A and B are shown apart, each in its own frame.
Chain A
Amino acid sequence: MTVPARPRVRLATTSLAGCFGCHMSLLDIDEKLLPLLELVEFDRSPLTDIKHCGPCDIGLIEGGVCNAENVHVLREFRANCRVLIALGACAITGGLPAQRNHLDLGLCLQEVYLTEPSLSRGGIPNDPELPLPLDKVHPLHEIVRVDYYIPGCPPSAEAIWQVLTDLIAGRLPQLPERLVRYD
């Protein structure tokens, strides 16, 4: 009896309020990209330029949620991905963008677009094309349910590889201490 060829796992990735550093770390798995491509098929991702996510097995999201568009994208991922992973410090805690959370958004916009002489030409941008910022930056799990978290800024390539291969193999992902120790 032959084992039926397993269909490849569909993987979607995106960056919300992040710096793409986590995506760079994903690419850092180097030569393991080739075995990865045997295991997975990319859906929506900066690597494929597919604009919207279809039904997927795994969604990998870096960055926190800072504006309305982030919310829409995150909801699209949650609705389509069986397993959703928060990738890196910003997705897990809000990270660097969340440094603005102790400032009032209105005062911030006023300072940048109205008061500060070097920037204040043209007033506060109000084009409907632009997503409106939320009053605070949130980690993913405050907006939708999140299944797994990969810590790090960015998480190491090895940590990402470990979690993805564990999930694909059907194991509960385990990150040994050396992969989550940063000092």
Chain B
Amino acid sequence: MDASSLSPVLDPILARWGRTPDRLLQVLREAQDATGWLSPELLAATARSLGLPLAHVRGVASFYSFLALEPAGEYRVLLSDGVTDRMDGSLELGERLCRRLWAEPDHTAGDGLVSVRRTSCTGLCDQGPAALVNGIAIPRLDGRVVDAIADLILARRPLDTWPVDLFSIPTNVRREDVLLRHGLSPGVAIAAALARNGAAPAGMIAELRASGLRGRGGAGYPTGNKWASCEAAPGESRYIVCNADEGEPGTFKDRVLLAREADLVFEGMTLAGHAVGATRGLLYLRGEYRYLLDSLEATLARRRAAGLLGATAGGGPAFDVEIHVGAGAYICGEETALLESLEGKRGIPRNRPPYPVTHGYLGRPTVVDNVETLCAAALIAVHGAVAWRRLGTTQSSGTKLLSVAGDCTRRGVYEFPFGVTVREVLEAAGADDPIAVQVGGPSGTLIDCAEFERHLSFEDLPTGGAFTVFGRGRDLFEVARQHVHFFAHESCGFCTPCRVGTSMLASVMDKIHDGHGSRHELAELDRLTSVLGNGAHCGLGHTAMNPVRDTITRFAPSYERRLASADFAPAFDLDAALAPARRMTGRDDPASHLGDAS
């Protein structure tokens, strides 16, 4: 495509995003939606239009795994490769799809018709295996669905004419508590917060502090303190960022909130804006949830029309929300990487401190809160701190949404008060014979059946929401190995301990898997734990070892039975390494072979 034919595509996109460099990622994402991939000409035209160096534009485009720098086909199929997807048979279904399409994985086949690749967990663990076709999610793959997808692609049916039931994604809410049955009409929480702000100087923030609400993304920082710091930070403009980049494998409760409770999310953002003095909010939607964008935009439009956003948002000061969509990078769930991504850059975590509350989006004071946190703040605005504190434990007030998936009969979202035991959740979910639960995803904690009486709370087992059940017969070594590959893939590459360390971790786990492991590899895993824990720049590296650490302490036999007995064994067959030379020299004498070390 030459430069002149690009402007009809690019100009409207640039016009919509205001031609500013910090919208680069959004421009690239939409340009790819329009043209299928990001050609060198398109990157050059984008760079020129935004006044950016081409190297910067290429750097951003190459960072995000959903952006294609080579033709990726008219139909781009990404198969979700989470642990639960594999438990549900995603690998076999992927092979079946490739066979039907005459496609090879990771290659564009059929004269540019289709490519089939794997992608990290897409957050449809309760209804997997899942896939994204041109960015739109399709849940519950089975043989029949896969064949139907293949037929539609081979018939070149446009995606918007595919049967709608392929794309239907129920919310699967299994247990409701105060949050999921809030029953609040739009505007009620904003009005309640404004009344609180009017009544006392610290108003809503004081109420939030009194409620003991802690961040629901996993880290558990007290939300009231965060808002107070942002409000007190010097700066002429402030921002509210909603972190909807729910990337932790096994987590999908934010998807359900965004699909079912979008008003409550925006309500929380608006009253946060009023509390800290911010007039703009940004919601960063994970690329995998692109299919929710239209309904979210519709909710925003409805709220603007109702006067709940805009010049006098819900009767208070001005506030409005803009939605940015990510492009397939787990690391952007880390708040400072997310801010970089919102600014149109590669998602590389910043140094902290300074924290986003003083130096956030565009260097301005910014509150970055999880979707669920903002919903909880809206509830607290209406019902007050005392009511909130009645639920949960001393240090973990309120309820928590859990994304329950894996080996259980009732997968879905459960809202439980904090302090619930693992066993209670397992029983509610119909897990018959669980041997382990991963609480909080691969970067959280994996526990075995001796620990099912433990409590989900910041005091005992903190969680961002993932609750993945492993039943009898599941191989926990394989689970850990898959997670380690996930971290190696998702490392942003900025710091060496993480970039190299996660890859070394993956190759050590592969070596053990291939039956070449020894005690030496177990010691090596131990050493890498401390390198990553002490040397990595951000939480991704610090927690990348967790799946290995937890499975090796609780499921050591799943490692030990794979070990070769030797003190050390190479990862490859030494005798086979001599085969090319044997062939070229025609030798087969004893000296031309290598046996075992003994």
B580 at interface by CB-CB < 8 Å: yes
Which of B578, B583, B586, B587 contacts A134 (CB under 8 A)? B578
How many residues on the A side are at the interface (Cβ–Cβ under 8 A)?
A: 25
Residues of B with C-beta under 8 A to A131: 591
Residues of A with C-beta under 8 A to B587: 126, 128, 132
Q: Are A143 and B570 in contact (CB under 8 A)?
A: yes
Cα of A125 to Cα of B567 in the assembled complex, Å: 35
Of the four ranges (under 10, 10 to 19, 20 to 34, 35 or more), the interface on chain B belongs to 20 to 34
User: Given A68-B594, A128-B591, A132-B587, do A142 and B580 touch, yes or no (CB 8 Å)?
Assistant: no
Q: Are A132 and B568 in contact (CB under 8 A)?
A: no
Residues of B with C-beta under 8 A to A142: 570-572
Interface string of A63-76 (1 = CB under 8 A from B): 00000100100010
Which of A104, A125, A136, A145 contacts B568 (CB under 8 A)? A145
Cα of A125 to Cα of B587 in the assembled complex, Å: 10
Q: Are B584 and A105 in contact (CB under 8 A)?
A: yes
Q: Are B579 and A135 in contact (CB under 8 A)?
A: yes
Q: Are B570 and A132 in contact (CB under 8 A)?
A: no
Q: Are A135 and B581 in contact (CB under 8 A)?
A: yes
B159 at interface by CB-CB < 8 Å: no
Q: Are B580 and A135 in contact (CB under 8 A)?
A: yes
Cα of A132 to Cα of B587 in the assembled complex, Å: 9
Which of A71, A125, A136, A143 contacts B585 (CB under 8 A)? A125
Q: Are A106 and B577 in contact (CB under 8 A)?
A: no
Chain B, residue nearest A69 (CB):
B591
Q: Are B592 and A128 in contact (CB under 8 A)?
A: yes
Q: B277: shortest Cβ distance to chain A, in Å?
A: 48
Q: Are B520 and A145 in contact (CB under 8 A)?
A: yes
User: Given A143-B570, A145-B520, A145-B567, do A109 and B581 touch, yes or no (CB 8 Å)?
Assistant: yes
Cα of A126 to Cα of B581 in the assembled complex, Å: 9
User: Given A132-B578, A132-B592, A134-B578, do A106 and B583 touch, yes or no (CB 8 Å)?
Assistant: yes
B164 at interface by CB-CB < 8 Å: no
A46 at interface by CB-CB < 8 Å: no
Which of A110, A124, A128, A135 contacts B577 (CB under 8 A)? A135
User: Given A106-B583, A126-B585, do A134 and B568 touch, yes or no (CB 8 Å)?
Assistant: no
B500 at interface by CB-CB < 8 Å: no
Q: Are B597 and A106 in contact (CB under 8 A)?
A: no
Residues of A with C-beta under 8 A to B571: 142
B582 at interface by CB-CB < 8 Å: yes
Residues of B with C-beta under 8 A to A125: 585
Chain A, residue nearest B519 (CB):
A145
Q: A122: shortest Cβ distance to chain B, in Å?
A: 12
Q: List 27 A-B contacts (CB under 8 A).
A: A68-B592, A68-B594, A71-B574, A78-B568, A105-B581, A106-B583, A109-B581, A109-B585, A110-B584, A124-B584, A128-B592, A131-B591, A132-B578, A132-B585, A132-B587, A132-B591, A134-B577, A134-B578, A135-B578, A135-B579, A136-B577, A138-B570, A142-B572, A143-B570, A144-B568, A144-B597, A145-B518
Please report B residues at the A interface, Cβ cutoff 8 Å.
518, 520, 567-568, 570-572, 574, 577-587, 589, 591-592, 594, 597
